Structures are given as structure tokens and as C-alpha cells.
Structure 1
């Protein structure tokens, strides 16, 4: 990954997760460089429009972990989230066949991730004052 791609990723994640969602937290968490982290990016008109990362199961205690799922504000409603999630599941199976996949979903997106076979696990919880639920597939 080049410095321009890295900059675009960190800019988009900060724009949405820190500024738009008003959550002051350490967004650059060091996990982007751990193990075999896989970064999926969707570009539109030379701008990063969609992103997520796959954290490898060795560094995450056994599950592939999908995180930092984000669609740029100007690209929402175009179906990029569905395309991104399809690619994420495909890449997870390619890199780590048969390994379960975990994600921490904002609670209001539980139905969205349910369409991809994710099932809620445990009780909901607050993360940065936003209700979340752990979900697992496989």
C-alpha cells in the first residue's frame, strides 16, 4: 500500500468515525500493520469511497475480524456497502478458508449484516456511546 492510499484510508476513517460520529478516540490503533491485515478499498472518481479491513485470525484469537467498515458520505446509497461486504467475504475465504468471521456492528445495522449470514452474539454494549453488538458468521 502506498502512502497516498494510506493517507486516503486514515482521512476517510477519521472523517466518519471521529468527526461525523463525534467520537474522539484513537482511530489509528496500530492494527492496520499487524499480521496479515487485508485492506479493501473502493475508489470512485479518484476518491476513496468505501473501505474495510480484515484482521487475520492468528492476531485475533481464531476469527477473521472485519472492522472499520466505512462508506464516504458522498458515496452512500450507491450500493457500495453491499459490494464491499461481498468482496470482504470472498477475500476472507480466499486467505483463511473455513475460518469464522467476526464483526462488531453498530446495533442498528444488525439486520444489514444478518443478510450476509452474521448472527448476533451475546448482549449489546456501548462503544464510544454508540450501541453495538458482536456478530459472527461461520
Structure 2
């Protein structure tokens, strides 16, 4: 079971910020071989959902209130360290993220921009595809909504 911490950008320690940026870079840039601008100016608006195992960051998302990213509340930068995926921490971090949206923004409708190959994972969490596939940073994505 992950230890979950939810923090605003200002509440993140320097070490936590370094660790989450390192994890995002490890997966989204190196593992997925995708050159893109991860530091997009949106981290300052987000709530950061950090999942720790033995005091090491192994899972992460950032969440937004309605209007900050999409029309609805949203979850993005969903990431689990490669060597920790077998433990299904993606479900833990996504459930914690949905709970953070409910608690902090009093919202239950959530929109995500999901990498297409993960659509079954998100469907298992109650998300449904809306619209057509599209490319984002060269990777096939789909928009999904959970109500």
C-alpha cells in the first residue's frame, strides 16, 4: 500500500519536486522515448498527488480543478515507476487522485487525456472514451470522462 501525500506546488519540498520531475522524466522522456516539454507552467496550478513506498516516490499524478486545464476537473502526468508497476500502484494513485478532486474541489466528473494503450486500465477505473483518437507529442491519446 502506498503512502499518499497531497500537496500544492508551494508545499512541495525541493526534494519532492526533484523526485517527481525525475520520475516523470524517467518514464515520459526516457522510457517512452518522447522529447516534449514536461515543464509546461501548469505545475504551479496543480495539486500534486505523491505515492511513496518505503519513503521513495514510486507513483504520481497532478490534478486540476475545473477550468484550470479542461472544462472539468482533470488528472494528468499519471506515472508509476517501471519496477513498481506489478504492484498495481496505478490504481492506488488514480483512486487517491479522484478522492483529492472530490475533497478539494467538490467534483466527481473528471476528464483525462489518456495514452491510448492504457485505455483498458482507465476503463477499469470507470472512465469512458469520448471523441476520436489524437496524437499528443507523437503518442496516440484518447479523451476519457468519469462521472
- 2:138 is aligned, of 126, 129, 132, to 129
Gaps of at least 5 residues in structure 2 are 1-11
Gaps of at least 5 residues in structure 1 are none
Q: Which residue does the alignment assign to 2:7?
A: none
Q: Which residue does the alignment assign to 1:41?
A: 50
1:56 deviates by 1.8
Contact 2:73/2:107 (<8 A) preserved = no
Q: Which ranges of 4 or more aligned residues in structure 1 deviate by more than 3 Å?
A: none
| Distance in 2 between residues matched to 1:96 and 1:46, nearest whole Å | 28
TM-score, normalising length from structure 2? 0.87
Q: Which residue does the alignment assign to 1:16?
A: 27
Contact 1:40/1:51 (<8 A) preserved = yes
Q: 1:10 to 1:29 in 2, by over 3 A?
A: same
Task: Report which structure shows greater RCO (CA 8 Å, sep ≥6).
Answer: 2
What secondary structure is seen at the aligned counterpart in 2 of 1:76? helix
Contact 1:118/1:135 (<8 A) preserved = yes
TM-score, normalising length from structure 1? 0.92
What secondary structure is seen at the aligned counterpart in 2 of 1:32? coil
Contact 1:63/1:99 (<8 A) preserved = no
- 2:95 is aligned, of 79, 83, 86, to 86
Q: 1:104 to 1:44 in 2, by over 3 A?
A: same
Tell me whether 1:106 sits opposite 2:82 in the alignment. Answer: no
| Distance in 2 between residues matched to 1:131 and 1:21, nearest whole Å | 12
Please report the RMSD computed on the Cα atoms of aligned residues, expressed in angstroms: 1.3
| Distance in 2 between residues matched to 1:80 and 1:102, nearest whole Å | 20
| Distance in 2 between residues matched to 1:103 and 1:126, nearest whole Å | 14
